[in-house]
Amino acid sequence: MGRQLLRIGLGVATLGLGGCAFDLPMSTLRAHTDFARAILSVYALVTWAVIVIAVVVSAVLAWVLVRFRHRQERGLPTQTLGHTLLELSWTIAPALVLLIIAIPTIRVVFATQRPAPRNALQVTVRGWQWWWEFRYPSLDVVTANELRVPAGRPVALRLEGPDVIHSFWVPRLGGKRDVVPGRLNQLVFTADTPGEYWGQCAEFCGASHANMRMRVIVLAPEAFDRWAAEERAPAAEPSGVAAEGKAIFARSACVGCHTIRGVSAGTIAPDLTHFGSRHTLAAGILPNTPEHLVAWLLDPPAVKPGVKMPALGLHAAEAQQLATYLLGLK
């Protein structure tokens, strides 16, 4: 019995400690923008306030349990009714705690809602069921599911909802901001560290909500400029197997939904002009590899439940040729 309890205790402790990791890709405890650090400062203040309250309450509770514990030789303790000082103390103390938390919280709320600096990179973010579209008006660049921004430069995201309510959330870069049809929201931040940051739609939006993911890739300024120039250029003309894949793309239903500059001009699905340069596919749920792409092309609903891209009825060889073409779009 003792060993069984020990095993149970160790199991519970292991699970509990596993939940204490703070360096995971979706952790809110590692801030990499001014926006995220401002929010984290409020979290830290609330955490310390809760710790102080917990210590005080635990100490008072322990004193009461010891001081007024039951003893045979002792009767009922003296009862106190209507103690004015106590009444004032437990009314004023919580009010002061709330005030201490409220002042920096309000300050951060207003700071994170201020207009973007004049030199900010403007990006239009559209949340679709179930993928993300990113448009850079000043750069004439359109991409999907992977947002690239330069380190050290303010970025202003203009959030639009073409279909239903979504919520843009990249934990290491800042708090959630809703994407609402008929309403424009804005999120402004300056990323300080190049790297890849995971994000997720944080508002239930339908069957594949949990699969509506994204990546924000922060680049050094020079690398970002090179990426933007490459995105503006047309993709290389395919040859061999890739050329056969292009012919399959051109005669299939793909052209009605997707844009590949110079090939098709669909507007209701992700722009694929430079699809081969992306790290992920299917809105961030799979690495962009030939094996995953072939499986996706053969049966999208089997990979991502609820997806609006239908199975195209391709044979395995056709899917391989089409995948070769798409992965060559760099």
Q: Phi and psi dihedrals of 113, rounded to 5?
A: -110, 0
Return phi, psi of residue 283, to 5°: 60, 45
Band the pLDDT of 237: cuts 50, 70, 90. Answer: confident
> For residue 215, what pLDDT is reported?
96
Strands (E), the chain: 121-128, 131-136, 141-144, 146-150, 154-160, 166-169, 177-179, 185-190, 195-201, 213-219, 259-260, 264-265, 280-281, 286-287
Quick one: pLDDT band at residue 262, thresholds 50, 70, 90? confident
Domains 25-59+90-231 and 241-327 share a fold: yes
- Residue indicated by tokens 């009605």: 256
- Indicate the CATH number for domain 241-327: 2.60.40.420
Nearest to 329 by CA among 257, 252, 264: 264
Q: Identify the three-state secondary structure at position 125.
A: strand
φ, ψ (nearest 5 deg) of residue 185: -110, 160
> What is the domain partition of the chain in residue ranges?
25-59+90-231, 241-327
* Residue 72 pLDDT exceeds 80: no
Q: How confident is the model at residue 81 (pLDDT cuts 50, 70, 90)?
A: confident
What is the β-pairing status of strands 166-169 and 195-201? Answer: antiparallel
Ramachandran area for residue 188 (φ above 0: left; ψ -120 to 50: alpha; else beta): beta
- What count of residues does the chain have? 330
State residue 35's pLDDT score: 93
Tell me the pTM.
0.85
DSSP 55-78: HHHHHHHHHHHHHT---TT--PPP
* CATH code assigned to 25-59+90-231: 2.60.40.420
Assign 76 a pLDDT band (cuts: 50, 70, 90): confident
Whether 187 contacts 178, CB under 8 Å: no
Q: Which of 5, 175, 150 is nearest to 159 (CA)?
A: 175
